Amino acid sequence: MQSNGHIEQAIGLLRQKGLAQAGKKADRVTEQGAICSYIHSGGRVGVLIEINCETDFVARNEEFQTFAREIALHIAGSVPSPQYVRKEDAPTDVANEICLMEMPFIKDPSVTIGDMVTQKIAKMGENIVIRRFTRYQLGEA
Amino acid sequence: MQSNGHIEQAIGLLRQKGLAQAGKKADRVTEQGAICSYIHSGGRVGVLIEINCETDFVARNEEFQTFAREIALHIAGSVPSPQYVRKEDAPTDVANEICLMEMPFIKDPSVTIGDMVTQKIAKMGENIVIRRFTRYQLGEA
């Protein structure tokens, strides 16, 4: 049992180190990435998203592509719909619940979209930025 | 040969009648339709488009869906990129060449996108409106 404790401690330290390194990567330039779309409800909702990373190598990686699709799915399906990527992009009187990075992920509300980005930076070793998105709902004003 | 002439004349009259009826349908309310996307160049360009029609029946029709996809493909691939749907949406000093409805279709420059919409209204018997689109290019300012 003592060795299990050591393993858990080691995992915890590695995780902290990974996330700390993710924080350091957050200022690095991201000029590559992917434009990804998600069409929902038989064509009644659609999302277009741009997610950036540092290299074309990561951009073409299947894990990165899947990540982009998951974020697009979240934007399509979540209620309320996100209106801004970051709270810094929103007017000061806007609730955090419509800022994408602050929202609990629709498929796993224990993490926010911002947490998921940080985890993906730690895992893939490159800065990753959700740059912009557009969400269309059929017939909305 | 005389009967061929009659047939051509009849086709011409039917075509005129269809387009005239298309003109009459252009004011009818369009609250149905489809959100459609097109991703180009391995994820470096993406388009999201909303095209409206009058009934869910036409919206689900494969011909309508294919039409929406063709317009999205045009927006993704054409140079210059369209910035507005209609010239009425654009500032008065903007060139018609960046207004989608005025542009020659990328796959058949003998017709404009506006012509294609009119023809589709005549063929499908419902008003059809390109409502809005968004085009993302990776890393653009």
The segments of chain A whose pLDDT lies below 70 read: 1-3
Predicted confidence band of residue B92 (pLDDT cuts 50, 70, 90): confident
How does pLDDT run across B46-80, given as a tens digit for each residue? 999 999 999 999 999 999 999 999 999 999 999 99
pTM of the model: 0.86
Model pLDDT, residue A2: 53
Residue type for position B37 = S
CA pair distance B73, B131, nearest whole angstrom: 16
For residue B121, give the nearest of B20, B36, B48 by alpha carbon. Answer: B20
Contact B36 A39 (CB under 8 A): yes
User: Which residues, 6+ apart, have CB-to-CB distance to B18 below 8 Å?
Assistant: B122, B123
Interface of B with A (CB under 8 A): 31-39, 42-48, 50, 52, 59-60, 65, 132, 134, 136-139
Task: For residue B71, list chain A residues with Cβ-Cβ distance below 8 A.
Answer: none
Which ipTM value was assigned to this complex?
A: 0.85
Contact B34 A43 (CB under 8 A): yes
Contact A60 B42 (CB under 8 A): yes
How does pLDDT run across B112-121, given as a tens digit for each residue? 999 999 999 9
Predicted confidence band of residue B2 (pLDDT cuts 50, 70, 90): low
Q: How far is CA B29 from CA B58, B68, B127, B128, in A?
A: 14, 18, 8, 9
From the centroid of its chain, how far is CA A23?
Answer: 14
For residue B76, give the nearest of B136, B31, B117, B10 by alpha carbon. Answer: B136
Task: For residue A44, list chain B residues with Cβ-Cβ distance below 8 A.
Answer: 35
